[in-house]
Amino acid sequence: MSSISGGIGLLSVRPRHPVGADGRMAVADHLRELRARVVRSVLALVLAFSVALFFYDQLLALVLHPYNDARDMLGASTRTEAYVAGATGPLMLQLKLCGVASIVASSPYWLHQIWAFVLPGLRPEEKRWTRVFTAIAGPLFFVGVATGYYVLPRGLEVLIGFTPAGLANLVEFNDYFSFLTRMLLVFGIAFEIPLFVILLNLAGVVRGRTLGRHRSWIILATFVFAAVATPSTDPFSMTMLAIPMLVLFLVAEVVARWSDRVRGR
């Protein structure tokens, strides 16, 4: 019990920043702060993993929901069933599922630890833009993941629908879970790309006028990226990824043009 309370106390204590008058830290102080933040992040992961074990049934239902929806869409036309292989399969399934859930659930904390470790070395204007980035990047990523989760049943329906008549489609859960994870990560990361375009504009690398001049090529590249990146390779998933990305690119172009005008003044 004392070890648990000590771990919680360690999570709540802020690491000190022994910054000198010149704004610098000694290498040993950097290493000590890095170690403290790594320990805090690991403790947060362990705590989230322990909580995920109690909600394993709900997590399993959440992961299987897109597959069950796809099976309902297929109806009696295609027989399909999910299964777990091997004697150790159920245990590895539980550990893998809870591990991924703990990483996602604790991501705000360990991402904050990374940001707080880098923050003291940034200039004031860099700190301001970093705060804006962290405030927008997280919600954008989760919106992308939610979009991928929404379109996943349709993609599974298309893929499983290729099963020849008279044959049953058996879906091994580990393969399905890897497919689902890749699909959600692709959508989440893709939604971050327009934000990086804005950061490149703020850094003076890309101008808003340049984005407008190459808009047709950006549209084509977006659809090509969506076709290659989506693991399901069906037109519906590709379109559901490409259209929000194009809207975000349009917003990025508007922000970039406004930023260029402000800089010009």
Say yes or no to pLDDT of 45 above 60: yes
Q: Is residue 69 domain-resident?
A: yes
Q: How many domains does the chain have?
A: 1
CB proximity list for 94: less than 8 A, separation 6 or greater = 53, 56
Which of 128, 140, 155 is closest to 66 using CA atoms? 155
pLDDT at 126: 62
pLDDT at 141: 84
Q: Which domain holds residue 136?
A: 2-191
Q: Is residue 218 domain-resident?
A: no
What long-range pairs does 76-79 form, CB within 8 A, spacing at least 24? 77/161, 78/160, 78/161, 78/163, 78/169, 79/163, 79/167, 79/168, 79/169
Average pLDDT of the segment spanning 6-24: 51
Q: Is residue 118 domain-resident?
A: yes
Describe the chain by its helix, strand, coil percentages, rounded to 5: 80, 5, 15
Per-residue pLDDT tens over the stretch 104-114: 888 888 877 87
Token digits for 56?
A: 């394993």
Q: How far apart are CA 216 and CA 226, in angstroms?
A: 16
Q: Is residue 182 domain-resident?
A: yes
Say yes or no to pLDDT of 13 above 70: no
Q: Is residue 143 domain-resident?
A: yes
Kindly write down the DSSP assignment for every residue of 131-176, as one continuous string: HHHHHHHHHHHHHHHHHHHHHHHHHHHHHHTTSPTT-EEEEEHHHH
Per-residue pLDDT tens over the stretch 21-30: 445 566 677 6
Q: Is residue 115 domain-resident?
A: yes
The torsion defined by the Cα of 26, 30, 35 and 39, in degrees rounded to 10, comes to 130
Q: How far apart are CA 249 and CA 84, in angstroms?
A: 41
Per-residue pLDDT tens over the stretch 179-234: 888 888 888 888 888 888 887 777 777 787 888 888 888 888 888 888 887 766 66
Token digits for 60?
A: 């399993």
Which of 265, 258, 106, 129 is closest to 199 using CA atoms? 129
Per-residue pLDDT tens over the stretch 30-42: 688 888 888 998 9
pLDDT at 122: 64
Per-residue pLDDT tens over the stretch 108-167: 888 778 777 777 766 776 667 777 777 787 788 888 888 889 988 888 888 888 888 878
Q: What is the DSSP letter of 246?
A: H
Q: Is residue 147 domain-resident?
A: yes
Residue whose entry in the numeric block shows the structure tokens 């549209």:
219
Which amino acid does the sequence have at 136? I
CB atoms within 10 A of CB 174: 15
